[in-house]
């Protein structure tokens, strides 16, 4: 049995203030293991993005605890959380979030600069990460010269270049057509299974079901059901 890379226990989150207060999460317990691609599915407003943000230490829970690679985040200062996030978590977003004035290599390399990597070494690692997502031939291209699917692959390269053990993706295929969406899921599945990372993907697209090892369903801030699926390899 593998130890969980990320664990949420009894996590509740209240968002907003005054009359606009919303209980976005109401006691969520969830662990993710290396080697698995998990889908987090649920209707709009059910708390998916909030849960992803808390798991990735972008938001702190109102109640409950998070452990990342065995380290509890309880009482951690914002700088400690930022460090934990940089060391262990890679993010992928629906809208790619690339810098339009930087090449693919520089967009990826930027994720390493914050760790004080030397320029040339960082560039080599960025190119290696781009090669892993099938973009060895596009390292000098700017985002506007790339298709949506290619831009999302650059974003995945940026998420994995620092070698994080956890990848969190919020609707990464929502802006893509079916074929590009499948290609992105295959890359993320490969990252989970071959590199033994924990990959969690938020989606409400049922077409992604066959790519999952595990599916977690969330409704109204609570996990209501879980199933194992598809392609699990032991």
Where on the chain is the footprint of ligand ADP (CB under 6 A)? 15-16, 20, 22, 24, 42, 44-50
Neighbouring-strand partners of residue 165: none
Interaction of residue 94 with Mg ion, rule CB under 5 A: no
Which x/- pattern, by CB under 5 A, does the window 45-64 give for Mg ion? ---xx---------------
The Cα 226–Cα 187 span in angstroms is 23
Tell me whether residue 100 or residue 206 sits nearer to ligand ADP (CB atom). 206
Helix (H), strand (E), coil (C) string for 108-140 = HHHHHHCCCCCHHHHHHHHHHHHHHCCCHHHCC
> Which residue has the CB atom at the shortest distance from Mg ion?
49
Angle at 221 between CA 219 and CA 225, to 5 degrees: 45
- Nearest distance in Å: CB 127, ligand ADP: 34
Nearer to Mg ion by Cβ, of 24 and 135: the residue is 24
Q: Which is nearer to Mg ion, 49 or 173 (CB)?
A: 49
CA angle, 98 then 197 then 13, to 5°: 70
DSSP bridge partners of 203: 41
Apex 8 CA angle, 78 and 192, nearest 5: 95
Residue 168 CB, nearest distance to ligand ADP (Å)?
Answer: 12
Whose Cβ is closer to ligand ADP: residue 40's or residue 98's? 40
Positions touching Mg ion (CB under 5 A) are 48-49
């Amino acid at each position: 049995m593998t130890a969980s890379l990320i664990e949420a226990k009894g996590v509740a989150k209240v968002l907003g203030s005054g009359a606009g207060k919303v209980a976005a999460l109401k006691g969520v317990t969830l662990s993710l293991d290396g080697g698995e691609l998990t889908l987090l599915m649920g209707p709009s407003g059910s708390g998916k993005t909030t849960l992803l943000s808390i798991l990735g230490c972008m938001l702190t829970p109102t109640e409950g605890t998070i452990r990342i690679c065995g380290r509890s985040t309880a009482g951690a200062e914002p700088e400690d959380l930022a460090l934990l996030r940089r060391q262990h978590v890679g993010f992928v977003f629906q809208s790619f979030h690339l810098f339009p004035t930087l090449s693919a290599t520089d967009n990826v390399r930027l994720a390493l600069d914050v760790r004080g990597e030397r320029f040339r070494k960082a560039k080599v690692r960025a190119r290696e990460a781009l090669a892993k997502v099938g973009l060895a031939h596009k390292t000098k291209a700017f985002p506007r010269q790339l298709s949506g699917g290619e831009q999302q692959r650059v974003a995945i390269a940026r998420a994995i270049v620092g070698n994080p053990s956890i990848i969190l993706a919020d609707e990464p295929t929502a802006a893509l057509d079916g074929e590009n969406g499948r290609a992105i899921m295959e890359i993320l599945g490969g990252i989970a299974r071959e590199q033994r990372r924990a990959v969690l993907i938020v989606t409400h697209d049922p077409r992604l079901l066959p790519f999952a090892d595990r599916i977690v369903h969330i409704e109204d801030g609570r996990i209501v059901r879980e199933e194992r699926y598809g392609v699990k390899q032991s």
